[in-house]
Amino acid sequence: MFIQTEPMPDINRMKFYPGEPVLVSGTLEFSDKEAAERSPLVSRLFEIEGVMQVTLYDEFVTVKKQENFNWQVLKPMILGAIMDHYSSGKPTLLEIKDPKEELEFNIKDLPEDAETINQIQEIINTRIKPAAEQMGGAVTYKAFNKGLLWLWLVV
């Protein structure tokens, strides 16, 4: 398995591309070991001293390190943890049904707005989403209804 890495503008963050899907869609951010329990991959990463935050995207993982740790030391351990995870055959996320974690979103696109929606999604996917991901965040389109745009933003 070859994992590509990419530095980010924030020198304490780095992207890791495992070459396999990480999430089906969306973004999940984990800031501590307790939250990481629902992800075998993230749990492995939090076992590494110096890992401060892990964010999962569809095609990559972003790891934020503590300032006093060096990427030359952490990077090989992170690469090893990612390889071990994918070799194990375990899922990235465990199926946990917690009603508190379920967010209902009942606003739907209107068919008459299809052209506007396509333009909005094009702008999000080509301009906004890449900029947000470069800084360690994420943007997900949810709906456009009655002139209001609904997005999920992770910063």
Kindly report the backbone phi and psi dihedral angles of residue 138, in degrees, each rounded to the nearest multiple of 5, phi listed first.
Answer: -160, 155
User: Does 36 reside within a domain?
Assistant: yes
Q: 2-50: per-residue pLDDT in tens? A: 899 999 999 999 999 999 989 887 788 898 888 888 899 999 999 999 9
12 and 75, same structural domain? Answer: yes
Q: Give residue 106's pLDDT.
A: 65
Query: pLDDT category, 102, cuts 50, 70, 90?
Result: very low
Of 89, 13, 119, nearest in space to 57 by CA: 13
**Residues 49 and 119 reside in one and the same domain:** no
Residues 130, 69 share a domain? no
The angle formed by the CA atoms of residues 155, 122 and 119, to the nearest 5 degrees, is 120
CA distance 41 to 39: 5
Predicted pLDDT at 98: 47
Count of the separate structural domains present in the chain? 2
To the nearest whole number, what is the mean pLDDT of the chain? 86
3-state secondary structure at position 61: strand
Range of the domain at 41: 4-88
Residue 7 contacts residue 74 (beta carbons within 8 Å):
no
Residues 84 and 129 in one domain: no
Is 3 in contact with 19 (CB distance < 8 Å)? yes
Predicted TM-score (pTM) of the model is 0.67
Residue 33 makes CB contacts below 8 A (sequence gap 6+) with 43, 46
